[in-house]
Structure 1
């Protein structure tokens, strides 16, 4: 990043990222493959297929990330997110695939020689060094003189609002300050690839909110490639331009956060974004769920589809409702109850397993308890169907 840049004539970071993303997608088309200028223009950025085999586990993840874009690897524990990040950093050896950064092959380049900056989950600051010397460590390793390294470190601390803490040792820093020192240390090496491993996991809830906003601002100014690993959907949605959802070592879905939130394609993603999700075969307005019940939707589709609706769309009754307008009606049993913010979430089994949200007053009036039989309804207008 260069503070001498001015806003005049320069597109916003989101606009640059959007253009880059569309151009990368276009490279998959025949027109792009036949346009040498387009291919030449996008030799910069990350182009990787990360294959790592460890016993019965196999990671096989493809990543293409444009300069100025933030991609988040999102997935459950054990999905392979951290393995992918370590492979990008050179800390885990690839057993197959490729790793290109700005057109250069990195597969055989040792970690210390890669133009990569890493912010680890626990930050790994040197406890005996001041914040300034922690940040200056990278430039010194790259051959800068002590004076040059400390000057660059001071500038990064200033940019991140830590100039007044330059002489502080890590034990004197708050969690948010330590996170920013770790980020400054990574950025001071002028990386072409910035890797962040659960960068907010070590923070308490209150600090996390503030630091998340700060980190988003800093990432928006970063003009090289950034890859974030997290299991927190909110961190991913706020910090990333594009989500890459990994399960069992494979990419199951990728796209803009808003698209993934609207069109989840696995139970894991649906749970993350708080939706009931089903897969079935559509014939007009009716989606049949295998040997189970059907769901009526407003969309007219044919063939394999997903159907989703939020728990808030579910209305519960203790007796079968007479003359209910909802076309979707199922007999269920309360499998469990839990407080969810200011609501009660009911986990229902039966004809159609689903989750329902209702107020504490409504839950009390219905006398909900595990084992209780209820009838669940959802209006067709509150469902959303889309092709598999």
Structure 2
């Protein structure tokens, strides 16, 4: 319901809040063309393989790479006309880039000082941010005395101390070991949930993206191939790269009722009743392998395959299969030993229709 007291100018200001950009950057033979929109409070993750254009997009948002075309609007202001240092943008770099000669307190105070605060004002603001991020007792420490997790939080405090309207995080957890990463990921999620402006993070780690972001934007070869919530993308991947990230076998084909004729020429039976171009997906854990063709097999999905590779995947063995339908299967080590699996061995793979998922392409 519209507030009758709201003016047209206020409506325009409200509509202009947040990020509205189309980033076009041409560098040699590579072309980035990515459109992004986000409202205040949104956390958007740019996800994609190496060389997809994620970092170029982040640097363009920061003003470190000039746009060849498009636009960059933040809260209704054209940032492309502003020098990088004048933009209301905070950046947390992958290696944090803390000033080694300054204490944690003075690292955080650097931004407010650059924005005109007195030394006392800047240090007071920095002290408040360090306390907010649980680092009050580390204010006098130089970066070399900080753990990886502490350095990451100092870098975040330094970026937030200037009250940015756009926060950019470049692989914010990549420099941490696995144990520290788990704790810092949870802390970062908490701080991002409290951030009232737009946050954009770049990562190649699907878990970081799924945990930290409200929306995912997947980039391949400089273009967006899929966008949506983490749940949407995990359930309905649209490229092999995304399917691999979320751990699914993915195929594209034509559906006629409950049968999907995939591009490899095989058929997959599903519980969905669809017609036309579709994707069909199922997890490697849904695949059951047999040494011999199951006698009297009732499974609608049955394919003759060859083992093309094996690798440890967590506490299981992931088996790569070629043949009638290339796929991956996850087995326990005991099951793999009982099947006497080895490269080149012939096996029969089955998947229950109820464990497949088909959706329009």
Taking structure 2 as the reference length, the TM-score comes to: 0.97
Report the counterpart of residue 175 of structure 2 in structure 1.
Answer: 202
Report the counterpart of residue 269 of structure 2 in structure 1.
Answer: 296
- Give deviations 1:21-56, integer Å, cap 9, x for gaps: xxxxxxxxxxxxxx9976552210000000000111
Of the candidates 354, 363, 366, which is equivalent to residue 336 of structure 2? 363
Unaligned runs of 5+ in 1: 1-34
Of the candidates 203, 223, 235, which is equivalent to residue 196 of structure 2? 223
Of the candidates 134, 138, 161, which is equivalent to residue 165 of structure 1? 138
Provide closer, same or farther for how the CA distance between residues 39 and 297 of structure 1 changes in structure 2, counting only shifts above 3 A.
Answer: farther
Report the counterpart of residue 382 of structure 1 in structure 2.
Answer: 355
Moved more, 35-44 or 218-227: 35-44
Provide closer, same or farther for how the CA distance between residues 141 and 308 of structure 1 changes in structure 2, counting only shifts above 3 A.
Answer: same
Aligned with 1:49: secondary structure? Answer: strand
Distance in 1 between the 2:11 and 2:292 partners?
63
Paired residues in the alignment total 354
Moved more, 270-279 or 283-292: 283-292
Distance in 2 between the 1:249 and 1:118 partners?
22
Report the counterpart of residue 23 of structure 1 in structure 2.
Answer: none
Report the counterpart of residue 223 of structure 2 in structure 1.
Answer: 250
Report the counterpart of residue 317 of structure 1 in structure 2.
Answer: 290
| TM-superposed deviation, 1:291 | 5.5
Report the counterpart of residue 284 of structure 1 in structure 2.
Answer: 257
Pairing 1:354–2:349 present = no
Of the candidates 26, 39, 52, which is equivalent to residue 66 of structure 1? 39
Of the candidates 82, 87, 91, which is equivalent to residue 64 of structure 2? 91
Distance in 2 between the 1:36 and 1:304 partners?
46
Distance in 2 between the 1:176 and 1:310 partners?
34
8 Å CA contact retained: 2:96, 2:151: yes
Provide closer, same or farther for how the CA distance between residues 137 and 376 of structure 1 changes in structure 2, counting only shifts above 3 A.
Answer: same
- Give deviations 1:95-136, integer Å, cap 9, x for gaps: 000000000001121110000000000000000000000000
Distance in 1 between the 2:358 and 2:211 partners?
26
Report the counterpart of residue 23 of structure 2 in structure 1.
Answer: 50
| TM-superposed deviation, 1:290 | 3.2
> After TM superposition, what 4+ stretches of structure 1 lie above 4 angstroms from structure 2?
35-40
Report the counterpart of residue 235 of structure 1 in structure 2.
Answer: 208
Aligned with 2:80: secondary structure? Answer: coil
Provide closer, same or farther for how the CA distance between residues 39 and 254 of structure 1 changes in structure 2, counting only shifts above 3 A.
Answer: farther
Taking structure 1 as the reference length, the TM-score comes to: 0.90
Distance in 2 between the 1:292 and 1:176 partners?
50
